[in-house]
Structure 1
C-alpha cells in the first residue's frame, strides 16, 4: 500500500513537472520575438550613440546624422533578416550547413564584404539616383534621405513579417524615388541612371536562373550520369572551387584593395589564376580524401558537393555584403557628407563608422530574425540537394560579384531566387524528358497528373513575383509619406 502511494506521488510529480516544462517552453516561444526586438533596439541605440560621438559636426547637423544612423541601423537589421536568407537558404536546405553554422559564416563574410568591397556600390546608391544639386536647400535634401531610409526599412520589415523574400535594392531605390519626388519633384530624379539600374532587375533573375540551370545540366551529364560518379566528382568539384577562388581574387584585386590603381590588369588576372590553381590543388586532395570508401551512387555525391557549396555560400555572403551594404548606409553616407560640406554633392565621401553600422547591422538582423526566410528559400520552393544548391550559390556569387565590380546595385534576392527557380524548372523539364522517352509517344499524361508531378511550387513563384512588383511603389509611397511627416516634425 505504501509502495502504491509512493508510485502515485511520483506520477503526480512527473505530471506536474511536465506541465511546468510545457509552460516554460511556451513562455520561451512567446518571449522570443520580444528578445529579438529588444536586442535590435539596443543595436539601434548604440548606432545613435556612435554617430553622436563621432560625427564631429555642428549641433544642428548632428541631429540629422544621429537620426540617419538610427534609420540606417534599422534598415541594416531588416536587410539581414530578409536578404541574407537568400544566400544561406540553399546551403541550409541542402543540409550542407546547420542554421547556426550558416549564420556564423554569413555574419563574418557579410561584414568582411561590406568593409572591403562596399564603397563602389555605396557611391552609386548615395549619389546615382537623386540629383543632389537639384534640391533647393540642405534641409530638404537631408529629410529626403532620412525618409528614404525609413520608408525602405518599414516596407522591408513588413515583407519579412509576412514571409516574403523581397529585394532590398528595389526597396531602397523605390524609397529614394518617392522621397525625391516629394521633396523636389520629377527633376530631382536621375531617370537615365535609374533606367540602367532597373534593367538589371529583369536581367539578374533571368541570369541567375539560366546560369544555375546551365551549371546543373553540365554537372548532371559530367558527374551524375557517369558510370563512375566518384571519379567524375573528383575532377569537377575542385574545378568549381578553383573557378570561384579565381573570380573572387580578381574581384578583390580590382575593387577590394585600398589602392587598385597600383595593380595592373595582368597582375590582377595572374593573381586570380594563381589563387584558382592553389584552390584546385588544395581542394583536390581534400575531395580525394572525402571520397575514399564512398559507394558509387548518387547519394555519395551529396557528401562531395558539400565543400563547394559551403565555399560558394561564403563567397556569396561576401559579395552580398559588398553589394547590399549600400542599401542600408548609402543615404546615411550622403547625409554625413552633405552636412560636413554644407551642401548636397554628387561626390560622396564617408567615414569608416558609417560602413560599420551597415556591416554589423546586417549580421545582427540575420542572427535575430533570419531563420524564417532561410527555411523558406531552402526548403519550400523546390527540393534542393548539395549539387543543386552549389549550382545556385556558385552562379549567384559570380553574378553578384561582377555586378558589384561594375558598381551596379543588383538584387541578390532576384539572382538567388531566380537560381532556385531555374534549378527547379530545369528538373521539371528533365523529368518530363525522361518520362517522354519511357512511355508511348501517343500517350499524354492528364493535366491533373502533370500538375501533381511539378517540382516547383507555383504558389511561391506567384507570391514572390507579386511581392517584387509591389515593392518599388510601396516603398516609394511610404517614403513620400515619411517625408511629409518628417517635414511637419522638423517645422
Structure 2
C-alpha cells in the first residue's frame, strides 16, 4: 500500500522531464505566437523573445489551470489506478518522457509539430500499455473532444482571420487614401483588440471572474471600459504622433507619443540626418596634423613583421579562462535571438511572395503597432493553453505523491504553473528560431496588416477554447489563420506554400503514434520489469 511521499524519485524525475517538455513546447510553439510579427518586421526576433518572456509566463499562470485539468484527468480513467496510485505516477512520468522526446526531436530539426498532439498521444500510449484501450476516455469529453478540436480550430481560426482581413482590406488597404482611412479606423481596431483581451483576462485571472466582478455583465462592462480608454489614447495620442511622424516626417521618438498634444513642431528626419552627416564630414576635415601623423604611425604598425607581432602578443595580457568561458557562454545564450527567420532571401519562396498584394507602406505602418498588441495577445493565449501539456501530468504526479491517492479533480498548484511558464520562456528564447523559420513567410507573405489579422483570429480561437477547457493546438490555429490570409490574395492559391502546409499536416499525423509509442513502450518496460519485494 502506497504511503504519502513514497516514490519520491518519480516526482523528482518527473519535475526534470516536465521542465524539458515545457522547454520543448516553448522552443517549438513560439512560432505560433510571434512568427508572423517577426516575418512582417513589426518586431525583431530579440524583441519578440523579450516580450514573450512576460506574456507566455502570465498566460500560463493566470489562465493555464483550466486546460491543465483537462490534460491531467480528461483522457485516462483514474479509476483504473485507485488500488495502485503509484502506477498512475509512473504512467504520467512515461507520458512526459514520450512527449518531451518527440517535441525536442522536432525542435532539433525545425519541425512544427503540435505539443498538444504530443502529450495526448503519449497519455493514450501509456493508457493502452497499462490497461488496454478501455482505460482511455474515447468519447465526447475525452479524446473525441480533443481530436475534433484539431479539425475545428484551424477552420474556425481561418474563417475569423479571412473575415477580419477582408474587412480591413476593403475598409482601409485598397482605398485611394489608405493612410487617411487607417487613421480614422485604427482606434476601432484598438478598441476591439483590447476589449477581447481584457474580457478573457478578467474572466479567468485569479481573484477576478464573474462572481467578483458582478456577473458576466460586469466583466463585459469593465472590458469595454478598458478598451474605451485605450481607444481614446489611440485617437488623441497615437494617431497624431503617427501623422506627424509619417506624413510630417518629424523626428519623433516613441516616448513623444505620450506628450504629442503639447509638443511643438520638430525638425524633420531629413534635417537631422543631414546635420549628422555634416558633423561626421566636418570631424574628418578638422583633424589636426598631429592626429594625422598618429594615424599614419598606426598604419605603419600594422606592417610589423611576424616576429614583432609575436613579441607584442607576449607582452599583452592574455584573456583569462573565466573570461573566455564567459564570452562563449554569452555567445551561446544570444545565439537563439541572433537569427534571421524572415525567409525573404529564399529563392524557392520568391514566386509565392510575388503573388501577395502590396499595399501602401504608410497604411501598413499603422498595423505594426496593432500587431505588437495582437502578438502579445497570441503569446498570452499560447501560454494559457500549452502550459497544460507539461504541467498537467506533473500536477497529477504531485497530487498522488502528496496524498497517496488518486483524485478525479484537484486544483493545479500555482507554483507548478510558474514552473512550466519558466520552462516555456527559456525554450522559446534559445531554440524558438528553428521552428519560427518554418512558419511565417514560409507559409505565405506577411505584412503587418496580414500578421495582425492572423494573430487576432488565432488568439481569439485559442482563448475561447482555453475558457471552456479545450486544449486546442495553437499550431493548428495560427497555421489555419495564415493559410486563410494567403488565400485572400487575388491569386490566393498561388500565394500559399501548399508543400509546407502538407508537411505540417504530416507532422501532426505522425506525432500521435510517435509520442504514444515511445511513452507506451517505456511504461510497459518499467511496469513489467523485475523488482525486489
Give TM-score scaled by structure 2 length: 0.75
**Structure 2 CA distance, aligned partners of 1:403 and 1:176?**
21
Structure 2 gaps, min length 5: 249-358
Which whole-Å CA distance do the structure 1 matches of 2:519 and 2:415 have between them?
A: 25
> Relative contact order: is structure 1 or structure 2 higher (C-alpha 8 Å, sep ≥ 6)?
2
Task: Indicate yes or no: 2:222 matched with 1:271.
Answer: yes
Task: Decide whether the 8 Å contact of 1:141 with 1:183 is kept in 2.
Answer: no
Q: In the TM superposition, what is the alpha-carbon distance from 1:288 to its structure 2 partner?
A: 3.2
Residue in structure 1 matched with residue 363 of structure 2 by the alignment: 301
Give the Å deviation of 1:488. 5.4
Q: Secondary structure at the match of 2:494?
A: coil
Distance 1:140 1:219, change over 3 A: same
2:266 maps to 1:315:
no
Q: Which residue of 2 aligns with 1:173?
A: 120
Selected match of 2:38 from 81, 92, 99: 92
Distance across 2 between alignment mates of 1:290 and 1:240: 15
After superposition, the C-alpha distances for 1:322-351 in whole angstroms (9 at most, x for unaligned) are 111000110000111122221221112343
CA distance in 2, matches of 1:325, 1:208: 20
Partner residue in 1 for 2:65: 119
* Greater radius of gyration (CA): 2
Aligned mates of 1:189, 1:86 — CA distance in 2: 29
Residue of structure 1 equivalent to 2:54 = 108
Q: Choose from 183, 208, 233 the match for 1:234.
A: 183
User: Which of these residues, 2, 5, 8, is aligned with residue 62 of structure 1?
Assistant: 8
- 2:394, 2:88 → 1: CA distance? 12
State the TM-score, normalized to the length of structure 1.
0.81
Question: SS at the partner of 2:405?
Answer: coil
Relative to total residues, which structure has the larger helix share, 1 or 2?
1
**3-state DSSP class of the match of 1:370?**
helix
The within-5 A match list for 1:430-469 is 430-431=490-491, 454-469=494-509
Match of 1:291 among 213, 233, 243: 243
Q: Paired residue for 1:399?
A: 461
Aligned equivalent of 1:83: 29
Q: Which runs of 5+ in 1 are unaligned?
A: 1-56, 433-452
Q: Does the Cα contact within 8 Å between 1:244 and 1:398 map onto a contact in 2?
A: no
* RMSD across aligned positions (CA): 1.8
CA–CA separation in structure 2 for the residues paired with 1:293 and 1:418: 35
Q: 1:281 aligns with which of 213, 232, 235?
A: 232
**Distance in 2, Cα, partners of 1:289 & 1:181:** 61
Map of 2:281 onto structure 1: none
Q: CA deviation at 1:139?
A: 2.3
Partners of 1:110 and 1:488 lie apart in 2 by: 39
Cα distance in structure 2, aligned partners of 1:241 and 1:142: 46
Deviation (angstroms), 1:379:
2.4
Compute the displacement of 1:58 (Å).
4.9
Distance, in Å, in 1 between the alignment partners of 2:76 and 2:118 is 15
Cα deviations by residue, 1:380-418 (Å, 9 ceiling, x for unpaired): 121111010011111111111111111110111100011
Question: Equivalent residue for 1:474?
Answer: 514
**Pair 1:365–1:220, CA change in 2 (3 A):** same
Deviation at 1:295, TM superposition (A): 5.6
Change beyond 3 A, Cα 1:255–1:299? same
C-alpha offsets along residues 197-229 of structure 1, whole Å, 9 cap, x if unaligned? 211100111112121122111111000111221
Following TM superposition, the consecutive aligned residue runs of length 4 or more in structure 1 with deviations greater than 4 angstroms are: none
SS of aligned partner of 2:438 = helix
- Counterpart of 2:426 in structure 1 is 364
Q: More deviation in 288-297 or 154-163?
A: 288-297
